[in-house]
């Protein structure tokens, strides 16, 4: 575990009491939430080009250099197009229900309903 994560987790343990059998679940949730928050902070930093206070100048320069590479820009543009893609005229498929996107489930349901009601 990264040292910063470990220190934050130990401080969390000291502040709140819980049953020891829940430690693994709590730690996993803590890391998941922390990763999501860090992702948001880095996105804002990249968009606004403003360094977070806790970030060293060396790390900030490295991130800026990475964000300015053609590879990163191409990947970001590709992912932006993918998020905005239209699945067969049914809208974007940002949310899925298991392995089948909602748009595909909707298309299949329409077919089933048309077949059912055409036989009535």
Residue 66 has pLDDT above 70, yes or no: yes
What pTM value is reported for the model?
0.55
What confidence score (pLDDT) does residue 67 get?
Answer: 96
What is the structure's pLDDT at 98? 67
CA–CA gap between residue 28 and residue 102 (Å, rounded): 29
Strand partners, 101: 96
pLDDT, tens digit, for every residue of 24-47?
Answer: 888 888 889 889 999 999 999 999
Report the b/e string of 41-78 with b at 16+ CB within 10 A: eeeebeeeeeeeeeeeeeeeeeeeeeeeeeeeeeeeee
The pLDDT value given to residue 73: 95
């Amino acid at each position: 575990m990264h040292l910063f994560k470990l220190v934050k987790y130990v401080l969390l343990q000291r502040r709140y009491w819980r049953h020891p059998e829940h430690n693994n679940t709590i730690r996993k949730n803590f890391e998941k939430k922390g990763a999501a928050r860090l992702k948001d902070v880095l996105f804002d930093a990249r968009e606004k080009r403003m360094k977070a206070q806790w970030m060293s100048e060396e790390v900030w320069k490295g991130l800026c250099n990475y964000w300015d590479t053609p590879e990163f820009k191409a990947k970001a543009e590709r992912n932006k197009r993918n998020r905005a893609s239209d699945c067969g005229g049914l809208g974007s498929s940002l949310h899925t229900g298991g392995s089948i996107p909602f748009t595909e489930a909707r298309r299949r349901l329409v077919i089933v309903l048309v077949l059912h009601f055409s036989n009535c």
